[in-house]
Structure 1
Amino acid sequence: MPLSRASLLTLGLALAAPLPAWAACSVSADPVAFGTIDVTRTSTGTGAVIVRCDAAASFEVGISPGRSGGEPRQMAGPQGGRLDYYLFADAGHSVPWGDGQAIGGTRSGRSDGAATTRLVIYGVVPPQPGVPAGEYIDSLQVTLTF
């Protein structure tokens, strides 16, 4: 039974704020990590987008499609291997989290201006027998609109 180590690396972050902006917000991310997976079974992992605002504000968070540019997202690995994966806004894996385009909708949130807001990302890697073992990564852009 081949095993692969897979993780999702979130690199790019972008902020968009219409003028005038009444709050200053920042965004950071905890990467979705799948750990060592068995490619013959479904694997799951979690990460998070963390939003901090200095005043009460509503916002939307989008996650880009990654290098594959579409659905499913794909992590790149050794020997040209590709590992399909999906990101969701809910633990039941029924609400795809994307950039508001074909890959899935954005996720809404609200800051009270004091505490950070942590939005959990739920990742799923479906079974993919035959994928070479090794480390797989993807780079995504998180966009915060407030």
Structure 2
Amino acid sequence: MAGVAHAQTATTTFPVTANVLTSCSVSANPLAFGSYDPTATAPLDATTTLSVLCTVGTSFTVGLNAGTAPGATVTTRQMTNGASALNYALYQGAARTTIWGNTPGTNTPPPTTALATPSTLTVYGRVPPSQNVPAGGYSDTITVTVNY
């Protein structure tokens, strides 16, 4: 059978579309203060980092709640061991002067605009000195909220 020659063609186009959503994800590393000496006169400091990845150009803020201790607030956070509580604070900067809370525009860092790579934010923790608490392991859980 002989091949058929084609002398003409027909073409068309079709649209290709996608809708990029505004989205963010966040991850956090543990904040480990280590060993606390209640007789020490200096505070115990530690840091951790948060990683936030949002759609490029998205403006976002990051809030930290008060934790899980009964009666805790963002200004008086507590790690607990049974009925005992060890006070600590979370700050926005290395000077540890501005509390990191959970209310955008009030006690969270200023808005950040997302780039193509994750934004790393440092959380500065401090356990005040001279807290008369029993020996043992103390813990708390902080919820990180990204508002965008």
After TM superposition, the score normalised by the length of structure 1 is: 0.75
The corresponding residue for 2:99 is: 96
* Shift, 1:22, TM fit: 4.6
The corresponding residue for 1:76 is: 80
Distance 2:114 2:131 in 1: 43
Runs of 4+ in 1 over 3 A off after TM superposition: none
**Alpha carbons 2:92, 2:98 under 8 Å: kept:** yes
Alignment of 1:7-22 (within 5 A): 22=21
Distance 2:39 2:128 in 1: 8
Give aligned-pair identity as a percent.
36
Check 1:37–1:69 CA distance in 2 against 1; reply closer, same or farther (3 A cut).
closer
The corresponding residue for 1:8 is: none
Gaps of 5+ in 1: 1-20
The corresponding residue for 1:87 is: 90
Opposite residue 43 of structure 1, the aligned amino acid is L
The corresponding residue for 1:40 is: 39
For the aligned residue pairs, the C-alpha RMSD in angstroms reads 2.1
After TM superposition, the score normalised by the length of structure 2 is: 0.75
* Shift, 1:130, TM fit: 2.4
The corresponding residue for 2:120 is: 118
More strand by share: 1
The corresponding residue for 2:50 is: 49
The corresponding residue for 1:28 is: 27
Distance 1:40 1:87 in 2: 22
Gaps of 5+ in 2: 1-19
Opposite residue 73 of structure 1, the aligned amino acid is R
SS of equivalent residue, structure 2 residue 142: strand
Considering Cα pairs closer than 8 Å and 6+ residues apart, tell me whether 1 or 2 has the greater RCO: 1
**Alpha carbons 1:99, 1:106 under 8 Å: kept:** yes
Distance 1:88 1:129 in 2: 19
Which stretch has the larger CA shift, 83-92 or 27-36? 27-36
1:87-143 deviations in Å (ceiling 9; x for gaps): 000000011100128xx611232211x211011000000013421111111111111
Number of residue pairs aligned between Structure 1 and Structure 2: 123
